[in-house]
Structure 1
Amino acid sequence: MPTATDTLLPLAQDILKHTQELVKILSAQSFSPPSLAVGASTALWTTHDGEIEEKRSQLCALMQRLDKLVQGPRGFLHEYVSGNWEYGALYTLLEFDVLQKIPLRGTASVETLAEQARLPADKLLRICRLVACADILDEVEEGVFGHTAISEELVDNEGFRSWVAFQLFETRVASAHLADSLRHPDPFWNGQAAFEHAWGMPMYAWHAKHPEKGKRFALAMDSVSKTLDPGNGMITNWFREQPWTQSNTPTLIVDIDGKTGSFATDLAELFPNLHFEVQDSSPSPLAHGEQALPPGLRNRITFRLRDLFTERTPHDSPVIPRVLMLRSALWRLDDTACVQLLRSFIPLLQHPDKPTLLVNDLVSLEWDPDRGPDAERPFRRRDVTVMVMHNAKQRTSREWAALFAQASPRFDVVYTQALSSHSCRGMWLVRWGGAGGEEGV
């Protein structure tokens, strides 16, 4: 936030001080120093807690403040809104697989790349040069390009590359229609999202109509859940703490709205005594997941087509599940539907075996004036992203707590929260118990 003490020299001195402190921390932990050269790797880039995260956040905030002071309002705004041209250039390279055509440990001329990608060389040259200005490529000599650590990441990691492309295309176009969507002041979860204004239909329907983009989106979300989002890690760590994951007794876990079962597969590989039933209301992801299932897991993972809202009772299965996982299923539902869905678990939660409903979902951080803009931006960006793409509202932890209480005052709920650099996740362990309320409600 702007202050009266913003001056160049104190800011620069703070940047130097925090940089020196960060270098000492890296050295003490024997972490490699950062570099943009191909093959570079450092734990600085993958550590998102402790002293390293604190120093990185402080440094980024200070450098952004210094940048604004040096450029001034007009210069800052010019750069802030001009990124669309870089985004369009990078998306072009991704769409035509240009980055993959450059040897990771070599170079390629723009003429060679243009011939392989079937693009005009004079146009491709301008596109590559603009992308190189962001250090995503390196123009090692005139018209000849090589990789940096940034482009190497895009070449090596298909899931992350898919996420970047999804952000550059679907979300960028949709965000341009946010203002149009607000000309019809529909409340959250009702009316059209900005995505629908842009593309003519809801996002999931659009991806179904354009399966190549739908496949890319699925890869993107799988990558995000494993890298940028702490949700799956929270669940995995909780499973590790449970004594029944180490026993020899087969234990059933139900992954509700589990799509292709990719997370169930990950858990099955980590915990050999766990058995999984992946449920979804759409046959397509279930069929894809069943087809892709490793042969060694076919006796421990089954797939079941099931309506999301149908009441769950002890008669649903011959085996009472230990855990019912509900991951990322509630955020896109309005309050009434959320309460209805949560209440559908009550008959099963009342069983003497005392199964646990594990809910893991997005959380909007409460406002905190002590959290600087650099730390705040990713979370506020996620708030707007969910609104743009689905006209949905990210709930705060207090709003989530009110929903569970409304579903049943006899829910015994334990809440934990985890942050990554880009996301806030909540995990609610729900069991039947507590006091008060009507029986079954």
Structure 2
Amino acid sequence: MSTKETDPLLPLAEDILKHTQELVKILSAQSISPPSLAVGARTELWTTHDGEIEEKRSQLCVLMQRLDKLVQGPRGFLHEYVSGNWEYGALYTLLEFDVLQKIPLRGTASVETLAEQARLPADKLLRICRLVACVGILEEVEEGVFGHTAISEELVNDEGFRSWVGFQLFETRVASAHLADALRRPDPFWKGQAAFEHAWGMPMYAWHAKHPEKGKRFALAMDSVSKTLDPGNGMITNWLRDQPWTTQSNTPALVIDIDGKTGSFAKDLATLFPNLHFEVQDSSPAPLAIGKQTLPQSLSNRITFRLRDLFTQRTPNEHGSPTSPRVLMLRSALWRLDDAGCIQLLQSFIPLLQHADNPKPILLVNDLVSLEWDPDRGPDADRPFRRRDVTVMTMHNAKQRTAREWAALFAQASARFEVVYSQALSSHSCRGMWLVCWGGGAAGGQDGGM
């Protein structure tokens, strides 16, 4: 028996080389810049999340992770796996003291200069910067002198992404350390304390309200994720783009962003679709007030804000003209509710949906989905999605539902709902989109079904 048949290392290495060569050919054919970690480096390889580029990148990542485990062995892998905690603490320190922003993007800074500006002990900061440099986030260009890489540059330039990293390094890291403690109590999903509450003494949203600086960071983080790592907003945007009435000014359509907070997404959509009108609804006056204050004058005639209870039933003539297209948009509002709450909320739309308008109102639901088990996907490719399952459980004691579990909820809410389902995956998240109308015929524009 040959070494190739008995030793998995060589076939893995050959597969990595083959997929790398194929990826390079794809990049070259599309005139896409090769990757580099130098400051200023940009390439569509990093920002393309579909098609053959994403497929090849995912394959390469899976193969390299597999090779890493085989080469390190169980003890070596576990040692590295759990030791990352120290890198996380070091990076969080640099973020909290704005150290990265104090290094010129096209230059360098000595640790003494950084320590003086950040009001930190230089000998301690040196050790922190060196650990962060070991993973390529910074570069020690000469002894005690640090410069940026493309990774730290991203953190400096993108406040939203930097906020997301900070949230992950602090709130979620502390909460995850209490997951085992929270599970010692036999609380089912949506009942009792989440691990976050066990760690911090109150639910996450209440804690953010009590610590507004962290609440602001969380809001920036979620806005960044929705635009970069989560396919949900893109699904809605693409669906709207496919509707004929988005370009018809004689029948202005109304999109109601329910539980829309500050209306950030509505503002983005209003900019993309100048013929659409929007109403942002929320049950809390605070985010609506922020939304009004930050609304550009150019959008003020097409976006309104309304304080409204989430669960109150919606009457046939409550939202806009019954002769114009109306879309009631429910984004990320159901996952945090138990089954009974979801059904109650879905049923609150029935009086409006069943009204015999032409065109019929559409309820557009966009929410998190837990992928069904698929042995062909493999554990390395599956990892980000299982991480999201545990994240939702840790932070909120909520359960990510599978597409089948979501289908059962819509069926329980009403047998008269006609639902058209589609889903999209990014490297970190799976999103489902359900177009719901009464008795059929109005959803259109999507393939597949439940």
TM-score normalised by the chain length of structure 2: 0.94
Matches within 5 A, 1:172-321: 172-248=173-249, 249-317=251-319, 319-320=321-322
Moved more, 264-273 or 325-334: 264-273
Instruction: Supply the AA of the counterpart residue of 1:420.
Output: S
Name the CA distance, whole Å, in 2 between partners of 1:68 and 1:276: 51
Asked if the contact 1:177/1:197 (under 8 Å) is kept, the reply is yes
Instruction: Supply the AA of the counterpart residue of 2:69.
Output: K
Task: Name the residue aligned to 2:404.
Answer: 398
The yes-or-no answer on 1:102 pairing with 2:103 is yes
- Match of 1:314, SS state, is coil
Instruction: Supply the AA of the counterpart residue of 2:410.
Output: F
Name the CA distance, whole Å, in 2 between partners of 1:113 and 1:224: 30
Matches within 5 A, 1:129-208: 129-208=130-209
Asked if the contact 1:39/1:149 (under 8 Å) is kept, the reply is yes
Asked if the contact 2:320/2:326 (under 8 Å) is kept, the reply is no
Instruction: Supply the AA of the counterpart residue of 1:65.
Output: R
Cα distance, 1:131 vs structure 2: 0.2
Name the CA distance, whole Å, in 2 between partners of 1:434 and 1:222: 34
Instruction: Supply the AA of the counterpart residue of 1:330.
Output: L
The yes-or-no answer on 1:334 pairing with 2:338 is yes
Task: Name the residue aligned to 1:433.
Answer: 439
Task: Name the residue aligned to 1:409.
Answer: 415
Matches within 5 A, 1:48-127: 48-127=49-128
- Match of 1:316, SS state, is coil
Task: Name the residue aligned to 2:445.
Answer: none
Count of matched residue positions in the alignment of Structure 1 and Structure 2: 432
Asked if the contact 2:343/2:409 (under 8 Å) is kept, the reply is yes
Moved more, 233-242 or 60-69: 60-69
Instruction: Supply the AA of the counterpart residue of 1:293.
Output: L
Name the CA distance, whole Å, in 2 between partners of 1:10 and 1:416: 37
User: Residues 284-313 of structure 1: CA distance to partner in whole angstroms, max 9, x if unpaired?
Assistant: 100001100001111111111111000001
Instruction: Supply the AA of the counterpart residue of 2:361.
Output: P
Moved more, 350-359 or 128-137: 350-359
Cα distance, 1:226 vs structure 2: 0.4
User: Residues 370-390 of structure 1: CA distance to partner in whole angstroms, max 9, x if unpaired?
Assistant: 002221011000000000000
Match of 1:352 among 345, 353, 356: 356
Instruction: Supply the AA of the counterpart residue of 1:201.
Output: M
Asked if the contact 1:57/1:374 (under 8 Å) is kept, the reply is no
Asked if the contact 1:114/1:120 (under 8 Å) is kept, the reply is yes
Asked if the contact 2:260/2:281 (under 8 Å) is kept, the reply is yes
Moved more, 316-325 or 331-340: 316-325
Match of 1:424 among 403, 419, 430: 430
Task: Name the residue aligned to 1:362.
Answer: 368
| Contiguous gaps of at least 5 residues in structure 1 | 436-441
- Match of 1:384, SS state, is helix
User: Residues 141-179 of structure 1: CA distance to partner in whole angstroms, max 9, x if unpaired?
Assistant: 000000000000000000000000000000000000000
Task: Name the residue aligned to 1:33.
Answer: 34
Task: Name the residue aligned to 1:438.
Answer: none
Distance 1:317 1:8, change over 3 A: closer
Name the CA distance, whole Å, in 2 between partners of 1:5 and 1:227: 42
Asked if the contact 1:257/1:279 (under 8 Å) is kept, the reply is yes
Instruction: Supply the AA of the counterpart residue of 1:256.
Output: I
| Contiguous gaps of at least 5 residues in structure 2 | 442-450
Name the CA distance, whole Å, in 1 between partners of 2:274 and 2:440: 33
Name the CA distance, whole Å, in 2 between partners of 1:13 and 1:326: 47
Name the CA distance, whole Å, in 2 between partners of 1:433 and 1:329: 24
Task: Name the residue aligned to 2:444.
Answer: none
Name the CA distance, whole Å, in 1 between partners of 2:205 and 2:285: 14
Name the CA distance, whole Å, in 1 between partners of 2:321 and 2:217: 36
Asked if the contact 1:409/1:434 (under 8 Å) is kept, the reply is no
Asked if the contact 1:328/1:360 (under 8 Å) is kept, the reply is yes
Cα distance, 1:13 vs structure 2: 1.5
Report sequence identity in percent: 88
Task: Name the residue aligned to 1:439.
Answer: none
4+ long deviations beyond 6 Å: none
Task: Name the residue aligned to 2:447.
Answer: none
Moved more, 81-90 or 46-55: 46-55
Cα distance, 1:7 vs structure 2: 2.1
- Match of 2:140, SS state, is strand
- Match of 2:126, SS state, is helix
